[in-house]
Amino acid sequence: MKIVGVGSAFPEYLYPQAAITDAIKQHWGRRLTNPDLLERLHLRAGVTQRYLTFPIADYARPASFGETNRAWLEAGSMLGERALDDALARAGLVRRDIDALYVVSVTGIASPSLDARLINRMGLRSDIKRTTIFGVGCVGGALGLTRAADYARAYPDQVAALVSVELCSLTIQRDDLSTVNMIALGLFSDGAAAALVGGAQRGEPGPTILATRSVFFPATEQIMGWNISEAGFGIVLSAELPALIARELPHCLDGFLADNGLERSQVASWIVHPGGPKILRAIETALALKPCDLALSWEMLAEYGNFSSGSVLKVLEATLSRPHPPAGAYGLILAVGPGFSGEMLLLRW
């Protein structure tokens, strides 16, 4: 199986990190007893700018879960279409070439689901096989890519498409002054990304997916996710996360590589989800990586923020658009997310 095209799309509203921080301070006003803490958390987020679905002033207005969910469906459909068309253009394919569609999102819900809306909106084939994936958060880009690869392995003459749509700004909890929510308000952003995987019998160029590995860590539900209530999506983010990564990731990754006859030193390109500074540093330290190994992840975090499942696909897109290792070199896609879980894909250029 080969990754034959990757694309992305973002809302029209782009703001510097400082402007977002100032808007939050103005909204909370006197209720914010420690504005210095908010500023420090946002300065340390590693983000310089972020795309938002709406003009920043609109977020001060109270909105119900129903309102924000409808906005997710409308804006998400548009961005998902743009991202998928971008991936198709890069692969030299057209909409009717898609045989299976996987759609990942954790920032809204719908029935009929977002994949059905995209099929109607884009005029995709009526015999397309569709799957929607919800609840997996930041690991969703890599997990969805694995599912697309599974499909391409089973149907080597066909093409599977993955679309990630994450509008994290629509989940903002306006009255939550907790430190965890302050971190989320400085880190998460909006965007869509798409990837196309072609089977072995197809002729499109791209890196080959040699193997995949899913890892689930039992009894870690409290590490990351949403607390979903009548107020919408409330962030769950534990301070234990970096320690869990440091403890579990090295032997999981080494086992995966060993099963494919490889060691870490043979991985030439690291395509790692930019979950945030603490996560990137934990991965870099745990795997004894050089600063240059995760340079693209840091760059994408700064330019786009963390748009959950789509962020690792944005790193993959950037990797493909720049000079990459010579033919035969190995690459690794890595993401972690709610469950708590990890997803790894081994590539060969």
Q: Which residues are the active-site residues?
A: 138
* Interatomic CA distance for residues 47 and 49, integer angstroms: 6
* Interatomic CA distance for residues 200 and 157, integer angstroms: 7
The helix-helix angle for 17-28 and 179-187 (nearest 10°) equals 140
Task: Say how far residue 213 (Cα) sits from the centre of its chain.
Answer: 18
Do 191 and 168 form a contact (C-beta atoms < 8 A)?
A: no
Contacts of 206 (CB under 8 A, 6+ apart): 2, 3, 4, 5, 91, 198, 320
Do 142 and 83 form a contact (C-beta atoms < 8 A)?
A: no
* Interatomic CA distance for residues 84 and 161, integer angstroms: 8
Do 140 and 337 form a contact (C-beta atoms < 8 A)?
A: yes
Query: What tokens were used for 50?
Result: 């972020």
Tell me how many helices (H) and strands (E) the chain has.
Answer: 10, 13
Query: What tokens were used for 168?
Result: 């994290």
* Interatomic CA distance for residues 240 and 233, integer angstroms: 21
Closest to 84 measured CA to CA, from 156, 15, 13, 144 = 144
Do 88 and 196 form a contact (C-beta atoms < 8 A)?
A: yes
